[in-house]
C-alpha cells in the first residue's frame, strides 16, 4: 500500500476545498492501474465529501451545515471560539474518510464529482489529509 500525507490550507473561515488535483497527483506517482484510493482527514473537526463544486453546491453545503449546526452556545463542548462544539459534531454528518475506485490509474468519479475537504473550524487553518492507495 502506498500512503502519503498532504497539507491543505483552509484559512480562518468555513471552507469546502477541492482536493481532486492533489488526489490525481498522488495517483499519477503511484504506478498502479487499478485499486482503491482511501482519503482520510485525521482531525476531530473536519470531513470529506464527494460533491460538485463551482456551481454553488459547495456554498449550499456550508449554508445547510450552518442551519443544522449553528455556531452558538448550545454545545456542551465549549473550548475554542464561540460555537466550536458544532465543529466536533461535523464528522458525524460529513465523514472523515472516503474510498474511491481507481480504474486505469484514474479515480472513477462522475463527470461533475470532486473530492472535497469540508472544514467549519476557523480555529484550525491548516489540515492534514492522508491519501492511501491499495493497488488491485
Which phi-psi region, left, alpha or beta, contains residue 134 (left: φ > 0; alpha: ψ -120 to 50)? beta
pTM, entire model: 0.94
Q: What is the pLDDT of residue 21?
A: 97
Helices 85-93, 57-68: axis angle to 10 degrees equals 120
- 6 vs 19: CA distance, rounded Å: 10
Of 121, 99, 86, nearest to 39 by C-alpha is: 99
**pLDDT, mean over the chain:** 94
Residue 130 has pLDDT above 90, yes or no: yes
CATH number of residue 96's parent domain: 2.60.120.460
Q: What is the pLDDT of residues 15-45, one digit of tens each?
A: 999 999 999 999 998 888 999 999 999 999 9
State whether residue 79 is helix, strand or coil. coil
The residues facing 31 across adjacent strands are none
State whether residue 76 is helix, strand or coil. coil
**Cβ contact 117:19 at 8 Å:** yes
Total number of domains constituting the chain: 1
| Least-confidence region, from 3-12, 31-40, 72-81, 84-93 | 72-81
Residue 80 has pLDDT above 90, yes or no: no
Q: How confident is the model at residue 77 (pLDDT cuts 50, 70, 90)?
A: confident
Torsion angle (degrees, nearest 10) of CA 108, 3, 33, 38: -20
Question: Cell 493497488 sits at which residue?
Answer: 135
What is the average per-residue pLDDT within 85-95? 95
What is the average per-residue pLDDT within 118-134? 95
Percentage of the residues of the chain whose pLDDT score is greater than 90: 81
What is the average per-residue pLDDT within 72-95? 89
Residue 114 has pLDDT above 90, yes or no: yes
Question: Cell 445547510 sits at which residue?
Answer: 64
State whether residue 26 is helix, strand or coil. helix
Stated length of the chain:
136
Look up the domain containing 18 and give its range: 2-135
Amino acid at each position: 500500500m502506498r500512503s502519503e500525507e498532504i497539507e491543505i490550507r483552509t484559512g480562518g473561515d468555513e471552507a469546502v476545498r477541492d482536493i481532486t488535483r492533489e488526489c490525481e497527483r498522488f495517483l499519477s506517482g503511484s504506478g498502479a492501474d487499478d485499486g482503491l484510493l482511501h482519503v482520510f482527514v485525521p482531525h476531530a473537526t473536519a470531513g470529506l465529501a464527494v460533491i460538485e463544486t463551482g456551481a454553488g453546491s459547495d456554498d449550499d453545503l456550508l449554508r445547510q451545515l450552518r442551519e443544522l449546526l449553528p455556531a452558538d452556545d448550545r454545545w456542551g463542548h465549549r473550548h475554542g471560539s464561540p460555537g466550536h462544539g458544532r465543529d466536533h459534531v461535523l464528522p458525524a454528518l460529513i465523514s472523515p474518510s472516503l474510498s474511491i475506485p481507481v480504474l486505469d490509474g484514474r479515480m472513477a468519479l462522475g463527470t461533475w464529482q470532486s473530492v472535497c475537504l469540508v472544514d467549519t473550524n476557523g480555529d484550525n487553518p491548516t489540515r492534514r489529509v492522508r491519501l492511501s492507495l491499495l493497488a488491485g
